[in-house]
Amino acid sequence: MSDAHNQHETLIKTPKQLIAAVAAGFLIPIICIVLLVQFVANESKTGAGSDSQTPEAVAARLKPVADVGFTLKDANAPKVLQTGEAVYKAVCAACHTTGAAGAPKLGDAAGWASRIGQGQATLVEHAIKGIRAMPAKGGNPDLDDVEVERAVVYIANQSGGKLKEPEVKAAPAAAAAAPAANEAGAQTASATQPVASSPSQQTQAVASAAQPAAGSAAKVDGKKIYDSACVACHGAGVAGAPKVGDKDAWAPRIKQGSATLYEHAIKGFQGKNGVMPPKGGSTASDEEIKAAVDYMADASK
């Protein structure tokens, strides 16, 4: 009888246990429901893009609509002048490293002694205006006079001289005020323009405004680029450069194909008979250099 009685006994023996059991019966289902709701809510957020609130995503949404992938540059910003060493490597090294066309080599104290003796002003004048086989500004008219003088000082001082670095004059007040005036004018002009009614219209307006400038670009004049950047060497055969019109010298080069000619002209080339600096030491664009190559090749067939 005692065994049968024990089988019918329950776990709840006191009123406190009864209350705890009833409370658990209510709380456990409620907790399960709350957890289930949170799980479903998190899944919905993930499906909609949980990364939408990251700093990168917020920055992307705040990015101006008018940003169509190009950067506008201030044409009135002051030019950053190159160092003498930089100008030498880009423009002067072709001749002053090899001694082509009688140019005194960098580091040749004996070759530079008489030239340094003429004085810094004379050396700079010859470099800017040109002398004998050396073209004005080494064939790069885009160089500032200060940049040319810096290059002269660098070469001379590397060859036994003690020339002084040129002083850079401060820009006049009027030039400094020009950007502010231009900005004010731009704001006035923009105030008269109709405002696009939607972001897409703003983007289209910016794109259409850029189209006329691109469409009006004139075809590159290869001869003009040759006259300003290439004639110094290719006109006289300096540093082993093939002269324009010399069919025998150009034939094997033309045979290599335009792609190879373009690459050598843009990136520079060092051969057995001479060296050519990138873009002939000029600041011309890739398209301008290609046009100059085409002109020289066509004139030498």
The CATH number assigned to the domain holding 261 equals: 1.10.760.10
Give CA–CA dist 139/286, Å, rounded.
17
Nearest to 218 by CA among 272, 151, 288, 271: 288
- pLDDT tens for residues 141-159? 889 999 999 999 999 999 9
> What domain range is 109 assigned to?
84-157
153 within some domain: yes
- pLDDT tens for residues 126-142? 999 988 878 888 888 88
Q: What three-state secondary structure class fits 166?
A: coil
194 within some domain: no
Per-residue model confidence (pLDDT) at position 133 = 77
Average the pLDDT over 154-180 and give the result. 74
Per the structure, the count of domains in the chain is 3
Which pTM was predicted?
0.45
Between the alpha carbon of residue 30 and those of residues 23, 171, 232, the distances in Å are: 11, 77, 90
Domain boundary among 118, 135, 157: 157
